[in-house]
Amino acid sequence: MKSAILILVLLFLFPSPSEARQVTEQQILEWTSSAGQMIYSYHTSFDLAVQTIRSSADEEFIPEIYAGGPYNDGWAFSFGAFNEDSEFILDYGVIVGGNGEILNFDAFDFHRPASFYHNLAANALQVVQQEFEQLRLESDDFTADYYRFAVLPFPREHVTAFVSPYDNCPEVSYFGNDVTYLIDRRTLEIKSHNRYHHRLLPLPIELPENAVTAMLDVPNAPYPSPLDISQTIRRGKPMIIRTENGFFNISPAGSIEKIPDDNPMVKGF
């Protein structure tokens, strides 16, 4: 039930605007950690779903419109296209368990509309893809070749879309160039968007022999981003991030700990 537990945490820490309240730094870090773990789980399961379609359906083309939602301790994904009535019609459905096992695969050769939430998530994805492409045209900062999207079911009355660079080099993992969008569930209007680290920050997977851990310096960001958490989990190695609010250590499991100001490493900087 890991995904369901994470959603409950995220609903508490990321309320709707009508429930907005003052949050503590610790709550921000808990939300960031939970969101990052969920993004990692989503992308890992999404990649397995894509592999399943390619192998089981012998199909290289993957529909550009998709949706994913929590399913027990894993994820259920839908892939398809919109019809003339803007209804999301499925070509494929894949359910991935919490341990990375494929629980179900369906190739639909009949008219199969998506569930309510998957229809919502697919429409939100289309809105965000169009908005992000416009953002890329207006800025020279987005320098990765490919970007990936995750639409997740929080906070209340909204969904949140996470956009991040897709690693296409086996020796490097990408940080930065990440954007989140808050989308109204009823109107599909983007209520706000947030950029964490504006630059693309490539980090080698294998560090020099004398390096204890990797560190990113992003002084214009208030805190690490959820996508920093996701990438750190993927790397499987600790990460230190320096932000305008101090130094933070991210563990390979995705937890965040603020490094005290009297730490010798912090004093050195």
Give the whole-angstrom CA distance, residue 207 versus residue 211.
6
Residues of the chain predicted below pLDDT 50: 1-20
Name which of 196, 204, 236 is nearest 44 in CA terms: 236
Exposure string for 214-243, b = 16+ CB within 10 A, e = fewer? bbbebeebebbbbbbbbbbbebebebbbbb
Query: Which tens digit of pLDDT belongs to each residue from 30-86?
Result: 999 999 999 999 999 999 999 999 998 887 789 999 999 999 999 999 999 999 988
Instruction: Give me the pLDDT at residue 5, please.
Output: 38
Helix, strand and coil in the chain, % to nearest 5: 30, 30, 35
* Tokens standing for residue 193: 């968007």
In the chain, where does DSSP find H-type helix? 2-13, 25-56, 116-138, 226-235, 264-268
* Residue 72: predicted pLDDT: 94
The pTM assigned to this predicted structure is 0.89
Residues contacting residue 89 through CB under 8 Å, at least 6 positions apart: 80, 81, 82, 83, 111, 112, 113, 114
Q: Quote the pLDDT of residue 243.
A: 94
To which H or E segment does residue 81 belong?
strand 74-82
pLDDT of res. 168: 80
128-141 confidence digits (pLDDT tens) = 999 999 999 998 88
